[in-house]
Amino acid sequence: MWELWMRRALALAALAEGHTSPNPLVGALVLDREGRLVGEGFHARAGDAHAEVGALRQAGDAARGGTLVVTLEPCCHHGRTPPCSEAVLRAGIGRVVIALEDPDPRVDGGGIRQLRQAGLEVISGVLREEARQQNRAFLHRVRTGRPFGILKWAMSLDGRTALPNGASQWISGPPARDWVHRLRSGVDAVVVGGGTVRGDDPLLTSRGRRSPEPLRVVLSRSLDLPDQAKLWDTAVAPTLVAHGPDADLRRLPSGPEDLRLSACEPQQLMEALAERGCNQVLWECGPELAAAAIRQGCVQEIAAVVAPKLMGGMAARTPLGDLNFSAMDQVLQGQWHQSEPMGSDWLLRWRSGS
Amino acid sequence: MWELWMRRALALAALAEGHTSPNPLVGALVLDREGRLVGEGFHARAGDAHAEVGALRQAGDAARGGTLVVTLEPCCHHGRTPPCSEAVLRAGIGRVVIALEDPDPRVDGGGIRQLRQAGLEVISGVLREEARQQNRAFLHRVRTGRPFGILKWAMSLDGRTALPNGASQWISGPPARDWVHRLRSGVDAVVVGGGTVRGDDPLLTSRGRRSPEPLRVVLSRSLDLPDQAKLWDTAVAPTLVAHGPDADLRRLPSGPEDLRLSACEPQQLMEALAERGCNQVLWECGPELAAAAIRQGCVQEIAAVVAPKLMGGMAARTPLGDLNFSAMDQVLQGQWHQSEPMGSDWLLRWRSGS
C-alpha cells in the first residue's frame, strides 16, 4: 500500500536531478493521521533544506501522529543542516516509510535506529531498487570515492566515430545532439582530453538547461592546448584544466582554473572530482582517453548513439582504443539499460556488469 | 473492405518464404458470389502451380461469379506453367483484387489488361506497399538483374568484429546465432570470401531449416583455400567456388562446383547468381569483401547484431573496410528497418536509402 506514495516521493526527488551533488536526490511527503497528503518536499540543492524538513514544515501540526514517506533514510548527523531524525521526532510523526537505507558512513542505519528507539514504526525497503537506481551516482561515489562515469559517443552503424581524414560533423542528427545537451544537464562535470579541444573546439554545455552549467574538464598530459578555445571562456561555464605534477604551467591557457593531479590519469581525476562534490561525470573524449577511463574503472555506463550511416575505412576512428584483451572470455560484459529510437538515430545505453 | 482478405493472401504467400526463387512469393484466395471463402493457394516453389491456380482449383464451381484476391498481378505468359489470366477467365471469376502489379517485363500490366478486356472488374493496389515489401528481393532482382543483398555481422558495442589477435568466437549469444540460421533459411545463397574459409571454417547452413540448404558461395581471387573445410562437404549443402578468369584451377578444392567470372568482383558474382535464379543472398564475409560489395551496390540491407560487450583495440577488426569517403555528406545513408532485442544482444536492421 506504500508503493504509490513512495512512487510520488521518488518523483518529487527527481525534480532536482543533476542539482544536489554531492548530496543524494531525496523526496518526502507527509500523510496525516487519516492518511491525507498534508506536506511534500524534495532536496533542491546542497545547503538547502532536506526533503523531510520541507515536507514536515508544510504539514505543520497535521504531521502529529501521521506518516512520513521518504526515499532515503533520514540523516542523524549534523552536516550543513541539523539532523532530520530530530525534526521527525519533534514533529510528532508516528510512522516513517523509507525506500533506501543511507549508505553514508555517518548515517548507515543510525537514523532508523534512532527513530525506532523513540517508539516510531519504521518500514524500510519500499521500492528500494527504484530508489537505488535514482541515486546510483551518489551511491557509486559513496562506495568507491569516485563519481559515476558515463561515456558517450556517436558512431555510424559500422562503428566509426570519424572518417579516415578526421571528419565527424555530424554523425548523429539534431534530436540526438539535443539529447546530449539534456544528458549534460544531469551531470556535474563533462570531461574531454586535449585532443578533443584541439580537434573539435567543443562548447560542452547543456545550452542553459542546467544552472550552473556542469564543470567542463580538460585532462591534458602535455598542456599542448590551443590559445583560443570555446572552453576558455568561463563566462559561459566553469572550466578546469587538469594535468600531471610535471606539466609546464606556463602553457596553461588563461581563464580556466587549473588542477594539479598526482598523476595525469582518469582515476586521479575522478578522485579529485569526487572530492569537489561531483556525483556523476560525462566522458566525451576520444578513443584513447576513453579506453584509459574504462581500464581504470571510471566508466559505469555507455550511451552510444548509432546513426543509420556507413562510413567505412580501416583507418577511420573507432570509439575505443586498446583494452588489452586477447580472448573473448576476457572482454567487458554488460547489459542494455535502455534502447530507443532518437530521431533517425538509435540510442543504446549500456551498464557495466560489475 | 478488401484489405482483410489481402492480408490473408499475403500471409498465405509468406508460407513459402525463401523457397520460390527465381519466382516471387504469391498468395491467393477465392470468395464465392456471396463473399464466402471457398479456395486458398500459394506458390510453393518454382515449377509448382501458381497461387491462383491452386485457389481456383480448390474453389471449383464456387468460383463462378466470385472474387479472386491475389497478392501479385496474374501472369499472362506461358512460362513453366500456363498463363494464370486464362485460368481466371476459364473459372468464371467476376472480380479480381490485386495488391501489386507484376514488374516482370513479360507481364507488366498485361495480365490486368487481359482481364479487363474480358469484362472482369479489376481492383489493383490493395496493400501494395506490404506486397512490395514481401517481394522486395524478387522486385530488386527483376529491376537490377542482381539479387537483393543482406550483409550480416556481429559486433561489440564499440564496433569490433574481432579482437586484435583475431579471436571472435563468440561475440553474439546463442539466440542471435540461432537467428542467423533462420536468416539463412530465407535466402538463396550465402557468400563469404576466402579469408573467412581460412580463418573461421564456417558451415553456413540453416541447420536444416531450409531444404535444400542455401547455396554456399566462396568468392576467391587467389584460390588460396584450405584442402579441408566444412564447405567442401557438399553432402550437407551445395557449395560453389567463384573465381576470376585467370585463377589457377589446379588449386580448386574437390567437391564444390566452380564458377568462372569475367572478373572476380561482387558485381559479377551477383549477376551470375541472379542468372542461376537467386532472388536474395546473404553476405557473411570479412570487412574488405563487405566494403567492396557495398561499393558495387550489392548490399541493400544490413543486419547488425550488437553485443553488450566492449572489445577495444585500435588494431581490432571492424565491420567494413574503406568506402573512400572524405566528407560526412558523402557517407551512405539509410533507415532503420527493424530494431529489437535478441537474447542479450540487440539487432539493428538497416536498409539502404537508395
Q: What are the pLDDT tens digits along chain A (354 aa)?
A: 899 999 999 999 999 998 999 999 999 999 999 999 999 999 999 888 899 999 999 999 999 999 999 999 987 777 767 778 888 999 999 999 999 998 877 767 788 888 999 999 999 999 999 999 999 999 999 999 999 999 999 999 999 998 888 888 899 999 999 999 999 999 999 999 999 999 999 999 999 998 899 999 999 998 999 999 999 999 999 999 999 999 998 989 989 999 999 999 999 999 999 999 999 999 999 999 999 999 999 999 999 999 999 998 877 778 888 888 888 888 999 999 989 999 999 999 999 985
Q: How far apart are CA B184 and CA B161, in angstroms?
A: 20
Task: Enumerate the H helices of chain A as residue ranges.
Answer: 3-14, 51-59, 84-91, 110-117, 128-134, 136-144, 174-184, 194-200, 266-275, 287-295
Task: Enumerate the H helices of chain B as residue ranges.
Answer: 3-14, 51-59, 84-91, 110-117, 128-134, 136-144, 174-185, 194-200, 266-275, 287-295
Q: How many CB atoms lie within 10 A of CB B246?
A: 10
Q: pLDDT value at position A354?
A: 54
For the segment A235-287, what is each residue's pLDDT rounded down to a tens digit? 999 999 999 999 998 989 989 999 999 999 999 999 999 999 999 999 999 99
Q: Does A195 touch chain B (CB under 8 A)?
A: no
Gyration radius of chain B's alpha carbons: 23
Residue of chain B nearest A320, judged by CA positions: B312
Beta bridge partners of A42: A27
Q: Does A308 touch chain B (CB under 8 A)?
A: yes
Minimal Cβ distance to A155: which of B159, B310, B312 = B159
Contact status, residue A114 vs residue A107, Cβ threshold 8 Å: no
Residue A164 CB contacts under 8 Å (≥ 6 apart), including other chains: A313, A314, A315, A316, B322, B326
Cross-chain residue pair B321–A312, CB shorter than 8 Å: yes
> What's chain A's average pLDDT?
93
Q: Is the peptide bond before B238 cis (omega within 30 degrees of 0)?
A: no
Q: How far apart are CA B112 and CA B122, in angstroms?
A: 7
Contact status, residue A179 vs residue A342, Cβ threshold 8 Å: yes
DSSP state of A61: G
Q: pLDDT value at position B354?
A: 55
Residue of chain A nearest B319, judged by CA positions: A158
Q: Which of A3, A34, A40, A52 is catalytic?
A: A52
Nearest residue to A254 via CA among A223, A219, A292 = A223
Active-site annotation holds for A101:
no
3-state DSSP assignment of residue A154: strand
Q: Is the peptide bond before A24 cis (omega within 30 degrees of 0)?
A: no
Q: pLDDT value at position A105?
A: 72
Q: How far apart are CA B28 and CA B10, in angstroms?
A: 8
Cross-chain residue pair A339–B318, CB shorter than 8 Å: no
Q: What are the C-alpha distances in Å from A188 to residues A166, A214, A283, A286?
A: 29, 5, 11, 20
Burial zone of B212 (CB within 10 Å; 0-12 exposed, 13-18 middle, 19+ buried): exposed
Chain B residues near residue A310 by CB distance under 8 angstroms = 294, 302, 320, 323, 331-332, 334
Q: pLDDT value at position B163?
A: 86
Chain B residues near residue A324 by CB distance under 8 angstroms = 312
Nearest residue to B218 via CA among B183, B185, B256, B248 = B256
Q: Which residues in chain B show pLDDT less than 70?
A: 80, 107, 354
Contact status, residue B3 vs residue B21, Cβ threshold 8 Å: no
Q: pLDDT value at position B235?
A: 94
Residue A330 CB contacts under 8 Å (≥ 6 apart), including other chains: none
Chain A residues near residue B164 by CB distance under 8 angstroms = 322, 326
Could you tell me the three cell numbers for A2? 506504500
Q: Does B346 touch chain A (CB under 8 A)?
A: yes
Q: Which amino acid is at A51?
A: A
Q: pLDDT value at position B336?
A: 94
Minimal Cβ distance to B159: which of A164, A318, A335 = A318
- Catalytic residue list of B: 52
Q: pLDDT value at position A164?
A: 81
Write out the DSSP string of B64-120: TT-EEEEEEPPP-S-SSS--HHHHHHHHT--EEEEEE----TTTTTHHHHHHHHTT-
Q: pLDDT value at position B319?
A: 83
Q: pLDDT value at position A104?
A: 74
Q: pLDDT value at position B166?
A: 83
Q: pLDDT value at position B136?
A: 95
Handedness of CA B2, B3, B8, B14 (dihedral sign): positive
> How many CB pairs below 8 A link A and B?
164
Q: ipTM for the complex?
A: 0.89
Which positions 310-339 of B are in contact with A (Cβ < 8 Å)? Answer: 310-316, 318-328, 331-336, 339
Q: Does B173 touch chain A (CB under 8 A)?
A: no
Nearest residue to A243 via CA among A228, A227, A265 = A265
Residue B171 CB contacts under 8 Å (≥ 6 apart), including other chains: A328, B154, B155, B156, B160, B161, B305, B307, B309, B311
Q: How far apart are CA A328 and CA A312, in angstroms?
A: 24
Cα end-to-end distance, chain A, whole Å? 33
